[in-house]
Amino acid sequence: MTTIPGCGWAQATFRCGRCGAQHTATTEADYLKAVGVHRDAHAVWDRLNAIERDGIASILAV
């Protein structure tokens, strides 16, 4: 998470420790939403088999 001193919330980059996907948000709400969506995607991912994972990989690359 990165903020620019004096500007308050400026920008934050979420980087997933599991798949390495990155998402740069310009507002806190956007950041939290992106993280939530990504974690939900991983919850789904965990229930898929290897073949199905190939199909959902693009969803994680947000």
Binding site for Zn ion (CB under 5 A): 16, 18-19, 21
For residue 50, CA distances in Å to 13, 45, 54, 55, 56 come to 28, 9, 7, 9, 10
Here the tokens at position 61 are 């690359």
Q: Give the DSSP H or E segment for 15.
A: strand 12-15
Rounded to a whole number of angstroms, the minimum distance from the CB of residue 7 to Zn ion is 28
Nearer to Zn ion, 10 or 22 (CB): 22
Rounded to a whole number of angstroms, the minimum distance from the CB of residue 55 to Zn ion is 16
Nearer to Zn ion, 1 or 10 (CB): 1
